[in-house]
């Protein structure tokens, strides 16, 4: 019987798949005789010592739910050294032996910092933005993409009925991952992402050509990290676009909802791998999926490099300027 105390925390923006990951962690850890605790409201909960013992009942009925049953927070103070030291002290006082963090890019920086200060820590990537270095996939990105693709398909119905072009602004923070992947899978005519320049004159030329040919709709997807969809509308109008334009900002719709099969399966694989890492006492790492294989990546590497987009997808969008 080991009875080590393991704490689980979800930090930063919530992502679909966090709950299913919690489910697999809670059940798996209890089966391995660990005492499991949930820290509430993200890293702030460590500072507030807001935590509670979890049982298998807490893992019931959550596999299909978006969000996180532990709650989360945007806690910018966690970048401060003093706050990080306080967190380490609090975890010690709480008697926590190992902390498992489920979160996005910002949360990985916080995780790396307290891991360096001595916390036995394992991280699991969860972010609709899928912008975390060291893993091809993060929990929630597949669900968000499915929501975006479904929304674009729906918008096409009204766009084509009224011969309009729609500018659809999607999330992604500073990454164009969601916009690019959604563009190639919805057949969007143009895409604006922060990683590349878009040839705006070429966009106007191509869309006007489509308009003249009587093509009933055109779709332009804009990553929030590039700029506002409304600004793109102004720009296209100034440049003489012939379509009537409408803007849809998908916003937080993209962050909720039931996780897809892919996100649920990934949450199971990450949870299982995290438990194996814990058993073999390998800390300071993040579970990751690389080339369809579950592995791990050192947190020091995760926070020191920037994830790039798939070049082959960028090349599929003709209006993106791409230099080899
Ligand atoms: O990190 C996930 C994300 O949804 C980003 O895509 C977006 O920029 C940000 O969170 C929005 O955060 P908030 O919900 O705090 O406004």
Report how far residue 23's alpha carbon sits from residue 61's, in angstroms, rounded to the nearest whole number. 9
Query: How many percent of the chain have pLDDT more than 90?
Result: 94
For ligand 1, whether the C-beta of 225 sits within 6 Å is: no
Report how far residue 112's alpha carbon sits from residue 24's, in angstroms, rounded to the nearest whole number. 23
Q: What is the pLDDT of residue 288?
A: 98
- 247-303 pLDDT, tens digit per residue, is 999 999 999 999 999 999 999 999 999 999 999 999 999 999 999 999 999 999 999
Higher-confidence residue of 39 and 321: namely 39
Residue closest via CA to ligand 1's atom 5 equals 173
Q: Please, what is the average pLDDT of the chain?
A: 96
First vs last C-alpha separation in the chain = 57
Q: Answer yes or no: 129 catalytic.
A: yes
- Nearest atom in ligand 1 to 15's CA: 2
For ligand 1, whether the C-beta of 110 sits within 6 Å is: no
- 208-232 pLDDT, tens digit per residue, is 999 999 998 999 999 999 999 999 9
Q: What is the pLDDT of residue 322?
A: 52
Task: Give the global pTM.
Answer: 0.97
For ligand 1, whether the C-beta of 189 sits within 6 Å is: no
Helix (H) or strand (E) holding 268: helix 261-279
For ligand 1, whether the C-beta of 223 sits within 6 Å is: no
For ligand 1, whether the C-beta of 131 sits within 6 Å is: no
Mean pLDDT over residues 304-320, rounded?
90
Report how far residue 277's alpha carbon sits from residue 101's, in angstroms, rounded to the nearest whole number. 13
Q: What is the pLDDT of residue 2?
A: 65
Is the pLDDT confidence value at 324 over 90? Answer: no
Among 41, 13, 18, smallest CA distance to 224 is for 13
In order of their start, the domains of the chain are 5-140+259-304 (3.40.50.450), 142-255 (3.40.50.460)
Q: What is the pLDDT of residue 1?
A: 55
Contact yes or no for 152/219 (Cβ under 8 A): yes
Q: What is the pLDDT of residue 271?
A: 98
- 146-193 pLDDT, tens digit per residue, is 999 999 999 999 999 999 999 999 999 999 999 999 999 999 999 999
| Ligand 1 pocket, mutate which of 15, 254, 255 (most atoms under 8 A from CB) | 255
Q: What is the pLDDT of residue 311?
A: 92
Residue closest via CA to ligand 1's atom 14 equals 13
Tell me how far CA of residue 56 lies from CA of 5, 34, 37, 124, 134, in angstroms. Answer: 15, 12, 11, 20, 31
In the DSSP assignment, the letter for residue 259 is P
Higher-confidence residue of 66 and 317: namely 66
Report how far residue 18's alpha carbon sits from residue 54's, in angstroms, rounded to the nearest whole number. 16
Q: How confident is the model at residue 88 (pLDDT cuts 50, 70, 90)?
A: very high
For ligand 1, whether the C-beta of 255 sits within 6 Å is: yes
- Nearest atom in ligand 1 to 173's CA: 8
Active-site choice (14, 58, 105, 129): 129
Mean pLDDT over residues 140-144, rounded?
98
Mean pLDDT over residues 58-71, rounded?
98
Contact yes or no for 58/26 (Cβ under 8 A): yes
Q: What is the pLDDT of residue 319?
A: 72
Distance of CA 261 to the CA centre of its chain: 16
Query: How many percent of the chain have pLDDT more than 70?
Result: 98
Ramachandran angles phi, psi of 155, nearest 5° = -60, -35
Contact yes or no for 40/50 (Cβ under 8 A): yes
Mean pLDDT over residues 199-207, rounded?
94
Mean pLDDT over residues 299-316, rounded?
95
- Nearest atom in ligand 1 to 104's CA: 1
């Amino acid at each position: 019987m080991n009875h080590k105390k393991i704490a689980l925390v979800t930090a930063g923006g919530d992502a679909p798949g966090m709950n299913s990951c919690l489910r697999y962690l809670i059940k798996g850890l209890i089966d391995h005789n660990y005492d499991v605790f949930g820290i509430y409201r993200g890293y702030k909960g460590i500072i507030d010592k807001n935590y509670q013992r979890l049982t298998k009942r807490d893992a019931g009925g959550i596999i299909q739910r978006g969000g996180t049953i532990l709650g989360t927070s945007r806690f910018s103070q966690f970048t401060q050294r003093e706050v990080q030291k306080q967190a380490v002290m609090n975890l010690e006082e709480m008697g926590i032996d190992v902390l498992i963090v489920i979160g996005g890019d910002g949360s990985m920086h916080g995780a790396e910092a307290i891991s360096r200060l001595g916390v036995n820590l394992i991280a699991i990537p969860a972010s609709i933005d899928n912008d975390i270095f060291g893993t091809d996939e993060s929990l929630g990105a597949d669900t968000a993409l499915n929501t975006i693709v479904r929304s674009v398909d729906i918008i096409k119905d009204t766009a084509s009925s009224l011969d309009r072009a729609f500018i659809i602004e999607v999330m992604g923070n500073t990454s164009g991952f969601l916009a690019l992947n959604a563009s190639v899978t919805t057949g969007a005519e143009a895409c604006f992402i922060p990683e590349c320049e878009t040839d705006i004159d070429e966009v106007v030329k191509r869309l006007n050509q489509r308009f003249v040919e009587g093509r009933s709709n055109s779709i332009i997807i804009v990553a929030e990290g590039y700029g506002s969809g409304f600004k793109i509308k102004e720009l296209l109008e100034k440049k003489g676009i012939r379509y009537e334009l409408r803007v849809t900002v998908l916003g937080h719709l993209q962050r909720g909802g039931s996780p897809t099969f892919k996100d649920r399966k990934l949450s199971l694989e990450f949870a299982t791998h995290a438990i194996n890492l814990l058993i073999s006492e390998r800390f300071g790492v993040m579970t990751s999926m690389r080339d369809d294989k579950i592995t791990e990546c050192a947190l020091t590497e995760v926070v020191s490099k920037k994830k790039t987009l798939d070049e082959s997808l960028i090349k599929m969008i003709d209006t993106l300027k791409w230099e080899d």
